[in-house]
Amino acid sequence: MVDMNQLQALFGGTFDPVHYGHLKPVEALANQIGLARVIIMPNNVPPHRSQPEATSAQRKEMVELAIRDKPLFALDERELKRDTPSYTAETLQAWRQEQGPTRPLAFIIGQDSLLSFPQWHNYNTILDNCHLIVCRRPGYSLNMTEESHQQWLESHLTHDADSLHSLPAGKIYLAETPWFNISATLIRERLEKGEACDDLLPAAVLDYIIKQRLYC
Ligand code: ATP
């Protein structure tokens, strides 16, 4: 029998700041398919890329505030503590080694990240170590732009959530999570213009942003 309480997921991103578009689809996903734990892992942004406005410490604190009363979530600081670029493929390989070969593991991304996924460093090794679970995001296609990438997607695609629990890795699951038209960019822009953001992120995170005078 499939053990529905084993599947753990990592959820990476910049989280500048963390918002409901990150949290709510993942909470819905956990209810739909069963997830033991979702580990939020803010990344260290390499020097040649545009830097987050908040520091690593601030991004970490905002995630802590967002998840403090949500037992589903945990925080992993490994990429934040690194001073070299964060390559998801390497992080997931290390995580697999820690968890052993049989435990089901997943990496959660939004639809926009699925479209850019083939540009990620060593993307094709990621499914050796985990499943990929894709949350819906308004405005992005579910079809890859290149035919070879579409074939890659279809060769790993499953519509059966049980297979995420029964296999350790290798599947892509397009989850039917609710749409949230929220981005960190939108929040930063609204705060800069002095516009309200109460419906976009948890109150404790917004209070922190105001106290720290972030994004203004
Ligand atoms: P920015 O606007 O600064 O680019 P973002 O809002 O896209 O940031 P990230 O921290 O870059 O947030 O995203 C982390 C992960 O969360 C990515 O996989 C992304 O696809 C996903 N994600 C972010 N916002 C949403 C959303 N509204 N719905 C579904 N997935 C989302």
pLDDT (tens digit, 9 = 90+) per residue, 22-54? 999 999 999 999 999 999 999 987 666 788 999
Distance 21 CA to ligand 1 centre (A): 7
Name residue, tokens 């109150």.
Answer: 203
Hey, whose CA ends up nearest to atom 13 of ligand 1? Answer: 13
For a mutational test of ligand 1's pocket, the pick from 11, 14, 134, i.e. the residue with the most ligand atoms closer than 8 A to its C-beta, is 14
Mean pLDDT of the residues in the chain = 94
Angle at 170 between CA 169 and CA 171, to 5 degrees: 105
Hey, whose CA ends up nearest to atom 26 of ligand 1? Answer: 21
Distance 13 CA to ligand 1 centre (A): 7
80 closest CA partner among 95, 66, 61: 61
Hey, whose CA ends up nearest to atom 8 of ligand 1? Answer: 184
H helical segments located in the chain? 20-33, 56-67, 78-81, 88-99, 111-116, 123-129, 147-156, 162-166, 184-192, 203-212
- Could you say which residues of the chain have pLDDT below 70? 1-5, 46-48
Hey, whose CA ends up nearest to atom 22 of ligand 1? Answer: 110
For a mutational test of ligand 1's pocket, the pick from 11, 18, 22, i.e. the residue with the most ligand atoms closer than 8 A to its C-beta, is 22
The minimum-distance atom of ligand 1 relative to the CA of 111 is: 20
Asked if 184 and 200 touch (Cβ cutoff 8 Å), the reply is: no
- Give percent of the chain above pLDDT 70: 96
Give the model's pLDDT for residue 112. 94
In whole angstroms, give the CA distance from residue 34 to residue 164.
10
Distance 1 CA to ligand 1 centre (A): 35
Give the model's pLDDT for residue 115. 95
Name residues contacting ligand 1 (CB within 6 A).
13-16, 21-22, 25, 109-110, 112-113, 135, 137, 180, 182-185
Give the model's pLDDT for residue 18. 98
Distance 137 CA to ligand 1 centre (A): 9
